[in-house]
Amino acid sequence: MSEPDKRPAGFGFDRSGAQGATKSTGSTPSTSGEPDSPDNVTTLLADDAELELSSDEAGRHVEETLARLDAELVGLTAVKRRVREIAALLLVDRARQKFGLASSRPTLHMSFTGGPGTGKTTVALRMADMLHALGYIRKPKVHVVTRDDLVGQFIGHTAPKTKEAIGRAAGGVLLIDEAYYLFRQENERDYGQEVIEILLQEMENERASLVVIFAGYSDRMETFFSANPGLSSRVAHHIAFDDYTHGELIQIADLMVAAESFRFDDDGREAFSEYLSLRMEQPRFSNARSVRNAVERCRLRQAKRLVELQRPLTKDDLITLTGEDIRGSSIFGYAESRADEAADGDDND
Amino acid sequence: MDLRHGAFSYLPDLTDDEIAAQVRYALSKGWPVSIEYTDDPHPRNIYWELWGLPMFDLDEPDAVLAEIRACRSTFPRHYVRVLAYDARLGRQTTALHFLVQRPKDEPGFALTRIEGSDRRQRYGIRSYATASAPADRYQQQ
């Protein structure tokens, strides 16, 4: 039979207490599987010790991630600066912990606002890498969800669905794309409100190492946040992604083309520059994504041209995108008449 | 008495961190995890009540622990266990299950003897807890 007074240690109770010691031989250290977690830093540095920030192993990894961010993403100086600041803050926090200084866990929920194709998702991925390297989150993964994945179809369906999404993102980054769709002002019985409430609860939770990123177009996110002031104040970092300039887009195109082992010849680059000027004036221009689609279509036209050459091909033929490939775009033909731009089969997001 | 049921049952009760580590192991193997509870701990009572639905596509135990906590607060005096199901062809069975909550006071089991034909003796066991109505079980704090 049981001995009630000798059963202090139960499920869910910490066994490190004096009573618990009767049952567990040798107190178990934290086995939460967070090798980088500050709890595991046991030896504190002396008050007069000096700490080289660059000696932090995580710091090096962060440097790599930041360098990659610089190399992969053209422009976005404001965004890169903010990412660097966040990295520095976490790095300094780690150093403070080594001296045993109190530092509360900073909230890192963010909102990424900007036009389509400005690199919000890419930055979120890099951010996850960086936060993982610094031990802020447990896994360098991003779980991307939209309204569909969070909002249920009937009463009582929303909460489990949202919790499921949060569960899948646990220990990582939850990126809510087009977050403004969560809130529908015109319908006060919309279940989106419930999602926001559950998210708020989860974002307040100190224990969960979850970072929530709201992404969406600037103007609509503005209304979204102004309608949910509680949400806005819990998002520490509002990061705006500016549209790319023409020069930056050319750089992006060069990077993309190089990544796929192609290159523009001189005429090709000039033609692409012209193409971009025309395309940027058209509606539904989505920055880097439009560039990617344009490059894809150039490759189509290049392939067609090469097949029609009816002669043996050289390596040079295979990697060169000529002006002809780019000028084949319907943008040039129908630049004046906007009506036909759909004929280009262009992206419409 | 302590009910010895499932894995780790001869160890001290697991802490939440240890439960998280076990769940993480199960998830890393690709076993969906589910939570069950009962107030009838008879060893032949193999089908306990399912708490919610099995949780698929997780790779961190946070959501499982949240559900365990919810189940504990709803049924503070029940047995609660975590199951990990291995759906691989050829196994298709429970790969791991262990208790994550037990009642404060477990009264144990009674051995019952039944006289069969030809004075044959048959044995059974019965939990003392099940002698009372479900609402009254494990009431002693």
**Three-class DSSP labels, A294-336:** HHHHHHHHHHHHHHHHCCCCCHHHHHEECHHHHHCCHHHHCCC
pTM over 0.80: no
Nearest to B60 among A31, A163, A170 (CB): A170
Q: Pick the closest to residue A13 from B15, B104, B61 (CA basis).
A: B15
Nearest to B21 among A33, A168, A172 (CB): A33
* CB-defined contacts A:B, below 8 A: 89
Report CA-CA distances (Å) from A193 to A152, A158, A200.
11, 10, 11
What sections of chain B are H helices per DSSP?
16-28, 62-74
What tokens were used for A81?
């600066």
Residues of the domain holding B74: 16-101
Nearest to B62 among A4, A7, A208 (CB): A208
The pLDDT value given to residue A78? 86
ipTM summary value: 0.72
The whole-angstrom separation of Cα B126 and Cα B129 is 9
Measure in Å the smallest separation between the Cα of B69 and chain A Cα atoms: 9
In-domain check, residue B88: yes
Query: What CATH number is associated with residue B56?
Result: 3.30.190.10
The whole-angstrom separation of Cα A58 and Cα B39 is 48
Q: Tell me how many helices (H) and strands (E) chain A has.
A: 14, 7
In-domain check, residue B64: yes
Interface residues from chain A to B (CB-CB < 8 Å): 1-2, 4, 7, 9-15, 23-24, 28, 30-33, 138-139, 141, 160, 163-164, 166-168, 170-172, 208, 210
Q: Checking phi first, is residue A75 left (phi over 0); if not, alpha (psi -120 to 50) or beta?
A: left
First to last CA, chain A: 69
Residues of B in contact with A39 (CB under 8 A): none
The whole-angstrom separation of Cα A220 and Cα A147 is 15
The pLDDT value given to residue B110? 93
The pLDDT value given to residue A95? 84
The whole-angstrom separation of Cα A221 and Cα A181 is 9
* List of chain B residues with pLDDT < 70: 140-141
Q: Where are the domains of chain A?
A: 53-241, 246-344
Q: Is B136 on the interface with A (CB under 8 A)?
A: no
Report CA-CA distances (Å) from A306 to A46, A267, A315, A329.
70, 17, 12, 17
The pLDDT value given to residue A33? 41
In-domain check, residue B135: no
In-domain check, residue B48: yes
Flag if B106 and A32 touch (Cβ within 8 Å).
no
User: Given this structure, which CATH class describes domain A53-241?
Assistant: alpha beta
In-domain check, residue B47: yes
Question: Between residues 40 and 79 of chain B, which touch chain A (CB distance below 8 Å)?
Answer: 52, 55, 57-64, 66, 69, 72
Domain count, chain B: 1
In-domain check, residue B60: yes
The sign of the torsion formed by the CA atoms of B83, A39, A14, A159 equals: negative
> H or E stretch including A293?
helix A287-309
How far does CA B10 lie from the centroid of its chain?
A: 14
Flag if B105 and A2 touch (Cβ within 8 Å).
yes
Q: Is B110 on the interface with A (CB under 8 A)?
A: no
The pLDDT value given to residue A44? 75
The whole-angstrom separation of Cα A292 and Cα A303 is 17
Mention every residue, 6+ apart, whose C-beta is less than 8 A from residue A266.
none
In-domain check, residue B1: no
First to last CA, chain B: 14
The whole-angstrom separation of Cα A247 and Cα A261 is 21
The pLDDT value given to residue A125? 87
Q: What share of chain A is helix, strand, coil (3-state, %, to 5)?
A: 55, 10, 40
Mention every residue, 6+ apart, whose C-beta is less than 8 A from residue B91.
none
Give the fold, CATH level 3, of A246-344.
Helicase, Ruva Protein; domain 3 (1.10.8)
Nearest to A167 among B62, B102, B107 (CB): B62
How long, in residues, is chain B?
Answer: 141
Report CA-CA distances (Å) from A271 to A198, A279, A289, A328.
51, 12, 18, 10
Instruction: Look at strands A142-145 and B109-115 and give their pairing.
Output: unpaired
Mention every residue, 6+ apart, whose C-beta is less than 8 A from residue B119.
none
The whole-angstrom separation of Cα B111 and Cα B115 is 13
Instruction: Find which of B28, B60, B104 to mutate to test the A interface (most A CBs within 10 Å of its CB).
Output: B60
Decide: helix, strand or coil at residue B15: coil
The sign of the torsion formed by the CA atoms of A315, A319, A320, A321 equals: positive
Flag if A24 and B12 touch (Cβ within 8 Å).
yes
Nearest to A138 among B14, B18, B60 (CB): B60
Measure in Å the smallest separation between the Cα of B42 and chain A Cα atoms: 16
The pLDDT value given to residue A341? 46
Measure in Å the smallest separation between the Cα of B63 and chain A Cα atoms: 5
In-domain check, residue B137: no
* List of chain A residues with pLDDT < 50: 1-5, 7-8, 17-41, 336, 338-349
